[in-house]
Amino acid sequence: MRIGGFLLGFSRLSSAQALAVSVVLWYDIDMKNDKKPGRSLEYQRDEHRVHLIVYHLVWTPKRRKRILEGSIAADCRKLIEEKCAERGWQILELAINLDHIHMFVRVFPTTSAAEVVKECKGVTSHELRAKYPVLVKLPSLWTRSYFASTAGNVSSDIIQRYIEAQRGL
């Protein structure tokens, strides 16, 4: 199989190993084009893993109230950034709008999207409601719902094409 100009012998590798090798090689060759500071989407490596886990998360205040402005928004941003730094999560983008928050965050493989949202909602709700009496009027600061999507350097189309190519082996 030819990947990015390299001929690879997959005969001794399982299909899962071959996929991992080809995805990493494809990334190394074709995807190192995101050079913006703080937005690196390179694979992280530790003792037993190679990973790239990135979530796009969105959540809203209760009743979609337009309360995230001025000092409330600034404090909310600071609290989210502190919580993410404490947990070792890297915020790639954070947009606080009047009635919702968008966060693009890189996490560890053991961290779920639900955990990130729970931690961020929890700390912001507790701290902001203690500091701003106007927020206590709401039954809770945040709705129970949220949007979560995974993201990364390898699209599902690339993986599907790779798996389709492996059927011929």
Orientation of helix 70-87 relative to helix 113-131, angle to 10°: 140
Domains identified in the chain and CATH numbers: 2-31+154-166 (no CATH), 50-151 (3.30.70.1290)
pLDDT of the residue at 42: 84
pLDDT of the residue at 9: 43
pLDDT of the residue at 43: 85
pLDDT of the residue at 39: 52
Give dist(CA 64, CA 151) in Å, integer. 26
Per-residue pLDDT tens listing for the chain (169 residues): 344 433 344 445 444 444 444 444 334 433 344 444 445 578 889 888 998 899 999 999 999 999 999 999 999 999 999 999 999 999 999 999 999 999 999 999 999 999 999 999 999 999 999 999 999 999 999 999 999 988 766 666 776 776 677 666 5
pLDDT of the residue at 40: 57
- From the list 86, 25, 92, the residue with the least C-alpha distance to 57 is 92
pLDDT of the residue at 61: 96
pLDDT of the residue at 5: 39
pLDDT of the residue at 44: 87
